[in-house]
A = this chain, B = another copy of it.
Amino acid sequence: MPDHSRLAGGAEFDAVRALLARWGSVAKGIGDDAAVLDVPRGDSLVASVDATIEGRHFREGWLAPEEIGYRSATAALSDLAAMAARPLAMLVALTLPERWRPRLDALADGLGEAAREHGLPIVGGNISNADELSITITVLGSAREVLRRNTLSPGDALWLTGALGGPGAAIRAWSNGSAPHEAHRARFSRPSARIHEARWLAAAGATAAIDVSDGLAADLGQLAAASGVIVDVELERVPLVVGVSAEQAIASGEEYELVVGARGDFEATAFTERFGIPLTRIGAVRAGVVDVVLTRAGSRVANPPGYDHLSR
């Protein structure tokens, strides 16, 4: 990694060497003080950072180390998807407790797999000893035109990729001491960053976007607040994973699905044929004082509490 691959030896260098060995050709240009990259001419640079912390974003025993790595990268990549950006590169900063050292290879494999899937090189990072495992990922992307949160307009329809509720159901099961349904577990352990889907949606006329990381209702609150609008969502329309209620689904975080606005309709069938997941019109946007209005059979239902990492 640029700033800490001390060739002079030591435990830190051993850890970096282990990472580089696992990453192979997905690690690129590492070994200087910083990475040097080219942003495609005419594109803007898109940058975001996201952290995954043991005991906050997952508990030991829930996930295999490969899954923790994969998931951390996906969470960061999802921010690029929400901007409809093309991934350019990733930097990985780890704080690594002694007891995680034997699992470093597996963590690296998960990170490397996510990077490889999206064709983005790991160009730098940092590794520090610590008492808590944390994986802080900076993603760099590029886009000619980005999708923002503050560009939703009254009259837009609201669309959602995929089906919700899996991660929430998996966490409920684990928290109750039971094994989650495999479909729920997979949605938590191996989420997808909707990078390609976002670019399809942007090209097809999406007006605004956000990724579902804190739960649909909470993220719609962000979108509504940023755009200064009311969003109406019919709960019956929200696609659900098996065995989950709409109320549970809209409070389920870390879904990494996308909500986008659109003036007209999308060709949802073409989207599903291409990406293998639904694209569903779940509501609409109107003018008024910022609000998220959830209805079932035409009657308003209460909004769930927001998903708050810090209060967990």
A: residues with CB less than 8 A from B are 2-13, 15, 31-39, 41, 44-51, 53, 55-57, 78-80, 82-83, 85, 89, 91-93, 95, 123-132, 134, 136, 138-141, 143, 146, 148-150, 209-211, 213-214, 218, 221-222, 225-226, 306-312
Which residue of the partner chain, among B11, B12, B79, contacts A33 with CB atoms under 8 Å? B79
Interface of A is mostly: mixed
Alpha-carbon gap, A260 to B34, bound state (A): 16
CB pair B7 A50 closer than 8 Å: no
Question: A8-B306, A49-B93, A134-B134 given. 4 additional CB < 8 A pairs?
Answer: A11-B308, A12-B309, A33-B83, A49-B91
Which residue of the partner chain, among B6, B129, B138, contacts A138 with CB atoms under 8 Å? B138
Which residue of the partner chain, among B93, B214, B306, contacts A51 with CB atoms under 8 Å? B93
List chain B residues, Cβ under 8 A from A50. 3, 93, 126
Assuming the contacts A93-B136, A138-B138, asked whether A85 and B34 have C-beta atoms less than 8 A apart, the reply is yes
CB pair A10 B308 closer than 8 Å: yes
Copies of this polypeptide in the complex: 2
CB pair B6 A222 closer than 8 Å: yes
Assuming the contacts A10-B306, A36-B46, A136-B136, asked whether A128 and B95 have C-beta atoms less than 8 A apart, the reply is no
List chain B residues, Cβ under 8 A from A308. 6, 9-13
Alpha-carbon gap, A76 to B118, bound state (A): 27
Alpha-carbon gap, A307 to B47, bound state (A): 31
Pairs across A and B, CB under 8 Å, 18 listed: A3-B49, A7-B221, A8-B214, A8-B221, A8-B222, A8-B306, A10-B306, A10-B311, A11-B310, A32-B150, A33-B149, A34-B79, A34-B82, A38-B45, A49-B124, A51-B136, A127-B310, A128-B309
Which residue of the partner chain, among B7, B134, B209, contacts A95 with CB atoms under 8 Å? B134
Q: What residue of chain B has the Cβ atom nearest to residue A224's Cβ?
A: B7
List chain B residues, Cβ under 8 A from A213. 3
Alpha-carbon gap, A44 to B34, bound state (A): 12
